[in-house]
Structures are given as C-alpha cells and as structure tokens.
C-alpha cells in the first residue's frame, strides 16, 4: 500500500470511529427542576439559570439550592435526580450515533443523587459515579449515592440491580445487590454491605413519582424494573423481615457481650482470648466470672457463631475488638442483616477510671 492509500485508510478509520462515538451534548438534558438550579461551564464560570430541556455539555457543573431539585436525562437509558444542596460535574458523556450511552461519568462533590440506569446495550458501555473517595460502576440499576464533605464519607445504596463500589484511595471493593448499601469514609475501605434502610426505600418511591418518565422516554425500562421488583417482592419482604428481627436480637446480644467484656477487663486487665472465656475461666489471674448468662451459646439468630476478633487497630492507631455476624444468606444468595460492633480498648480503660 502506497503512502497516499495508507493515509486515506487511516483517515477513513478515524472518521468511522468519530461517526459512532462522540460527546453528544444534546443527549443530556435538564428534564425537570424545582427551585434554584445552577450551571457552570468547565472553567466554573456561572451560566444563566437554565430553562427546561436545556442541553448539558460535557464538563458542565450542576448544582441545586435549598429546597430545590433537578432531573437530568442521559439519552433514553439513564436519569439522575439531584436532591437539594447537591453539586456534580458531568465529567464524561460519550454516546453513539443513536445517542446510546458509551461512557458516562458523573463527579458528585456534595449532596445526594438518585439514579436509574437501564441495561446498557453494549458490554463495554460504562456509567460511573465518582466522589472524592469512591467510584461506583452500574449497569441496569436503581441506586442512590451521596457525599458529605464534612466527614469525607460516601454512601451508596441499591434498590434494584447491582453496583460495584470501590475506594479511590486504597485497593478495596464491594458488590452491592438489591436492597443493600455501604459507606466509604475517608481513606478506608467500603464497609461490609448492609440492608438498605427503610427511609431510603421510601425516599426512592417519592423520587420515582416525581420524575417525568413519559417525557424522557424510559417508561419501558421503569416498567421492567417494577416487574422485577414485583416478582421479587415476596422473597425480599420475607427475608428482610427475618433479618430485621434477627438484627434486633443481634444488637441486644452485642450489648450483653460488651458489658461482659467490660467486667472481664475490669477484673483481669485483659480482653478475652475468645468469647467462651466470658463463661469459663481460661486460667487468667483475677477472673471472677462467669460474666454472662450460663446458657449463652454465642450463636447468632441465623444459627451461626458470632465472630470475635481482637488485636485490631484503626488507621489512627486506636486498638479495638470487633463483634460481628454474617447475617442471613437469602434464597437467591443475597446477604441481609450483617451487623458489626467495635469495642475500643481505650473506652474500657476509661470506664475503669470512672
């Protein structure tokens, strides 16, 4: 191939690539708003207050004021709602010629969002939410994400679908399934998935009822999501009911175990090597137990032993003990009702001085 033909081939390939994948500014619009909604361009220069149906370009900053909200549509496959006092930037918006999502990345700097992302057509397509310490990747999901600058914490919760949540500071990653949530604080790893709080589910129902789906054009996707939720409702309600009852007992058990450990420490100036040491003398000087009821089995409500770990330290060097339960493993393999309690050695020492 001569040089001219080679150049033509390269130009054709570049043209073909650009024809199917480019930042489509008109694919992202302000679908609805309430109260004060602000736009800035990439240089953070304020722009006039946007009217409905305003196109949102890549790198644009969006913010809501007090008692305000905004609904952003990403083509026909995704919608993001901003709660009050929320700010974010559309870092990346890549679409194909049909305005199907190829790659979208949203940087949430403050506040809370609710998002619906239908199943993306291409396996390599991406829809990501980033905060200063967390990255969440989604596909076919209803979820919420929020960032609080005051304590550098991110909360991610999933109503349906699945979200991968990773710390951007350390190598740590969790998968959230339906009705699960996690929190990432500062430079720490995501906490183990927990059951999504009831208030979050109720908040989602309120958001869902306020979004103009018919205008955005993703009614089919919402109908599909609702159908899945209906099919799974009986199982989820049953398993969550069991987990909630179990969580109540776990909390009471943890309180009793913590009191017993406090008494054990007061007598021996040591922490138990294992939970059974609260019932039977392990041969430690000063032991005057038992420190907990004789019938205690240290089993969780789901038939498994409570987990006890010692000699642990926070990143700041504080020593602590950890009590935990794996919770309930549901019929579909979902995990509900995981609980964890930290007992700081410094707090045990302070109680001795009181």
pLDDT in tens, 13-64: 433 333 334 444 578 889 889 999 999 877 777 777 888 888 888 899 999 9
Contact 97, 19 (CB under 8 A): yes
Q: Identify whether residues 180 and 254 lie together within a single domain.
A: no
Q: Identify whether residues 295 and 186 lie together within a single domain.
A: no
289 torsion bin: left (phi>0), alpha (psi -120 to 50), beta (else): beta
Please give the tally of structural domains in the chain. 2
Q: Identify whether residues 181 and 258 lie together within a single domain.
A: no
At a CB cut-off of 8 Å and minimum separation 6, what does 54 contact? 29, 30, 39
Contact 319, 349 (CB under 8 A): no
What CATH number is given to the structural domain containing 136?
2.60.120.1440
Beta bridge partners of 156: 145, 182
Contact 184, 133 (CB under 8 A): yes
Per the domain annotation, does 185 fall within a domain?
A: yes
Asked whether residue 277 carries a pLDDT value surpassing 90, the answer given is yes
Per the domain annotation, does 14 fall within a domain?
A: no
Per the domain annotation, does 142 fall within a domain?
A: yes
Q: Identify whether residues 150 and 257 lie together within a single domain.
A: no
Q: Identify whether residues 137 and 209 lie together within a single domain.
A: yes
pLDDT tens track for 314-353: 878 889 999 998 876 554 555 656 788 899 998 888 887 7
Asked whether residue 218 carries a pLDDT value surpassing 50, the answer given is yes
Domain boundary among 169, 185, 217: 217
Q: Identify whether residues 349 and 244 lie together within a single domain.
A: yes
Q: Identify whether residues 271 and 151 lie together within a single domain.
A: no
Residue 286, Cβ density class (10 Å: 0-12 exposed, 13-18 middle, ≥19 buried): exposed
Q: Identify whether residues 86 and 182 lie together within a single domain.
A: yes
Q: What is this structure's pTM?
A: 0.57
Contact 209, 306 (CB under 8 A): no
Could you list the residue range(s) of the whole structural domain that residue 79 is in?
A: 19-217
Per the domain annotation, does 159 fall within a domain?
A: yes
Per the domain annotation, does 280 fall within a domain?
A: yes
User: Angle CA(203)–CA(207)–CA(209) in degrees, nearest 5?
Assistant: 120
pLDDT (0 to 100) of residue 200: 83
Domain boundary among 157, 183, 217: 217
Q: What is the mean pLDDT of residues 178-187?
A: 89
The model's confidence at residue 245, banded by pLDDT at 50, 70 and 90, is low
Closest Cα partner for 71 from 114, 27, 30? 30
Per the domain annotation, does 327 fall within a domain?
A: yes
Q: Identify whether residues 197 and 148 lie together within a single domain.
A: yes
Residue 15, Cβ density class (10 Å: 0-12 exposed, 13-18 middle, ≥19 buried): exposed
Q: Identify whether residues 201 and 335 lie together within a single domain.
A: no
Asked whether residue 228 carries a pLDDT value surpassing 80, the answer given is no
Asked whether residue 250 carries a pLDDT value surpassing 90, the answer given is no
Greatest C-alpha distance within the chain: 93
Per the domain annotation, does 226 fall within a domain?
A: no
Asked whether residue 233 carries a pLDDT value surpassing 80, the answer given is no
Q: Identify whether residues 210 and 67 lie together within a single domain.
A: yes
Helices (H) and strands (E) in the chain, counts: 5, 18
Q: Identify whether residues 251 and 208 lie together within a single domain.
A: no
Average pLDDT, the chain: 80
What CATH number is given to the structural domain containing 290?
3.30.700
Question: Which tokens belong to 83?
Answer: 């709660």
Domain boundary among 175, 202, 217: 217
Per the domain annotation, does 168 fall within a domain?
A: yes
Beta bridge partners of 341: 323
């Amino acid at each position: 191939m001569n040089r001219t033909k080679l150049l033509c081939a390269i130009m054709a390939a570049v043209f073909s690539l650009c024809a199917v994948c480019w930042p489509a500014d008109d694919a992202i619009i302000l679908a609805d708003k309430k109260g004060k909604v602000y736009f800035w361009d990439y240089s953070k220069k304020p722009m006039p207050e946007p009217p409905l149906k305003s196109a949102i370009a890549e790198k644009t900053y969006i913010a809501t004021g007090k008692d305000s909200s905004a609904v952003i549509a990403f083509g026909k496959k995704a919608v993001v709602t901003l709660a009050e006092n929320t700010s974010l930037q559309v870092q990346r918006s890549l679409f194909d010629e049909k305005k199907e999502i190829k790659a979208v990345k949203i940087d949430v700097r403050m506040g809370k969002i609710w998002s619906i992302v239908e199943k993306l057509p291409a396996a390599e397509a991406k829809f990501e939410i980033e905060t200063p310490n967390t990255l969440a990747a989604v596909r076919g999901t209803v979820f919420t994400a929020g960032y609080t600058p005051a304590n550098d914490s991110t909360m991610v919760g999933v109503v349906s679908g699945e979200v991968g949540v990773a710390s951007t500071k350390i190598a740590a990653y969790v998968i959230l399934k339906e009705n699960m949530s996690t929190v990432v604080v500062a430079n720490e790893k995501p906490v183990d998935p927990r059951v999504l709080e009831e208030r979050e589910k109720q908040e989602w129902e309120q958001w869902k009822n306020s979004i103009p789906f018919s205008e955005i054009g993703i009614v089919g996707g919402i109908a599909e999501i609702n159908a899945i939720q209906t099919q799974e409702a009986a199982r989820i309600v049953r398993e969550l009911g069991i987990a909630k009852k179990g969580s109540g007992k776990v909390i009471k058990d943890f309180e009793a175990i913590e009191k017993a450990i406090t008494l054990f420490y007061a007598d021996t100036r040591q922490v138990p090597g294992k939970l059974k040491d609260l019932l039977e003398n392990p041969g430690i000087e000063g032991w005057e137990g038992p420190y907990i009821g004789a019938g205690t089995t240290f089993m969780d409500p789901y038939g498994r032993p409570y987990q006890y770990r010692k000699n642990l330290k926070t990143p700041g060097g504080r020593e602590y003990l950890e009590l935990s339960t794996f919770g309930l493993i549901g019929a579909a393999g979902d995990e509900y009702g995981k609980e964890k309690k930290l007992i700081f050695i410094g707090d045990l020492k302070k109680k001795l001085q009181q």
